[in-house]
Chain A
Amino acid sequence: MSITQTGRGNASGYEVVHASREFRTLRRHLGSFAGPAIALFLGWYFLYVIIAAFAPGFMRITVAGEVNVGLCFGALQFVSTFLITVIYRRWARQRLDPPAERLRQRLETGRRR
């Protein structure tokens, strides 16, 4: 019986998958990206916040005309957001989606295995 058909009656089916090497690899891949990425972008964001709050003089230094360091720093926050988005999308498509899809296929058509 496929995993979705057994539903709650065979919840241990999910446990078997959960403990399988394929699933654990998938989860580890996700963790290896998500963990560092989250630490990085939150750290970067709070660096911006803390400097703005406690070193406003630094932020007021002008860089080009009236555009100051603060604005550039802020703009860089946007750039980093877009960058992370693009990188994550590519990475996920290569490293997460194929194994996830394989696992899903196997689970849903378990009956025809």
Chain B
Amino acid sequence: MTTVWVLARAGFSLSALLSHAAAASPAGRAVLGPGLLYGANTVSRVNFISLSLALVLGTAGLPHVLMRLYTVPDAIQARRSVVWTIWLVGLFYLFTLVLGYGAMWLVGAAQIEAAPGKANSALPLLAFRLGGTLLLGIVAAVAFATILAVVAGLTITASASFAHDVYAGVLRRGEADPGQEVRVARITAVVIGAVAVIGGIYAKDIDVAFLVALAFAIAASANLPSILYSLFWPRFTARGALWSIYGGLISSVGLIIFSPVVSGHPSAAGGAVPSLISDPYIDFAFFPLDNPGIVAIPLAFFLGWLGSVTDPRPADPARFARMQVRALTGVGAERGDRA
């Protein structure tokens, strides 16, 4: 709705919208072409490629999305949900193009920078400018509901994994009392929530799109290689999986910690994102890129391969056969419609 409104303001001409936005922006027509944020030098170009890699591959490794496919009875249903998602999300991304330029034009860079949350306030401010407090309220409510859904999904995935796999599987060697397991899951959910809230407070002014790209990079490095290898490579072993998951996770998170995202850039110099630690004297950023994707993702794939081929214990062909047969035919999944 907001998209249509913005377009209407521009006389339903995309071209007019773009020229209004360019006129309003301090960078002028440069905002219409690539390179303003990521084109200054080779490092920022590589940054851009790293970001793109993380975004495209990370989508396939997001835990809260994968989790929603657990209850699907067969491939047809799974495909249907994915197709719906592709259409809805794809269209939404197209809308954000109009919304972004609309905000640039109707709200203006100065007002956005001055608002709490900086770049994150662009859409709410646009809604306010177009439809007053009513539209702002609706947009804020929808955003909040979406965030809650995602956070709930992630919290459940994380606490269930911890309680079931770490607590019951490892700490109690498969002998945990179910009541205890549930209690552990609840405690984990609270702990994860608290950590996330504290982290969020520190990161509150960071551009959300940027943080999302980091999350995608972690998902693409830690999760994706193992998923693909498990489904399609018969020689993949548990050791390869461990190496890939740990390697991907440690390298992506580690590189983020040692990147300009966390230290070294106290102010937004040259369009770069300001660091988490704003003291200019603390600088341990030896990794030059904002996004670890281009390093961590290939590394995780490599480790998955290396861990498997150097494994003294060979892969179990029976398990692989079972995995592939179940994956391609749906055998063993509970059907909703048949007995």
From B33, which residue of chain A is reached at the shortest CB distance? A60
A interface, size bucket: 35 or more
Contact present for B45 and A89 (CB under 8 Å): no
User: With A45-B52, A49-B52 in contact, is A66–B32 under 8 Å at CB?
Assistant: yes
| A56 B35 Cβ-Cβ under 8 A | yes
B75 in complex: contacting residue of A27, A66, A96, CB < 8 Å: A96
Seen from chain B, the residues whose Cβ lies within 8 Å of a Cβ on chain A are 13-16, 18-19, 22, 32-35, 38-39, 45, 48-49, 52, 56, 74-76, 79, 83, 86-87, 90, 93-94, 97, 317-322, 324-326, 328-332
Cα distance, A32 to B320, chains bound together (Å): 20
Query: Is the pair B34, A56 in contact by a Cβ cutoff of 8 Å?
Result: yes
Residues facing B in A1-43 (CB within 8 A) are 3-4, 11-12, 14-15, 17-19, 23, 26-27, 30, 42
A103 to B38, CA, bound (A): 51
Q: Let me know if A78 and B33 touch, CB within 8 A.
A: no
Q: How many angstroms between the C-alpha atoms of A53 and B38 in the bound complex?
A: 7
B47: nearest chain-A partner, CB-CB: A53
Q: Is the CB of B33 within 8 A of A56?
A: yes
Kindly identify which residue among B19, B74, B319, B321 contacts A17, using a CB–CB cutoff of 8 Å.
B321
Interface of B is mostly: helix
A9 to chain B, nearest CB (A): 11
List A contacts of B330 (CB < 8 A): 100, 104
Q: A50-71: which have CB < 8 Å to B?
A: 50, 52-54, 56, 59-60, 64-68, 70-71
Bound complex: CA of A33 vs CA of B330, how far in Å? Answer: 19
CA distance A71 to B48 in the complex (A): 17
Q: Which of A79-113 contact B (CB under 8 A)?
A: 81-82, 85, 89, 92-93, 96-97, 100-101, 103-104, 107-108
A56 to B258, CA, bound (A): 30
Contacts of A23 in B (CB 8 A): 325, 328-329
B98–chain A nearest beta-carbon distance, Å: 11
Across-interface contacts of B93 in A (CB, < 8 A): 78
Contact residue among A26, A67, A82 (Cβ-Cβ distance under 8 Å from B18): A67
Would A65 and B321 be within 8 Å (CB), given that A45-B52, A49-B48, A53-B38 are in contact? no
**Complex contact A15–B318 (CB within 8 A):** yes
**B residues within 8 A CB of A11?**
318-319, 321-322
B79 engages A89 (CB within 8 Å):
yes
Report the bound CA distance from A100 to B83 in whole Å: 19
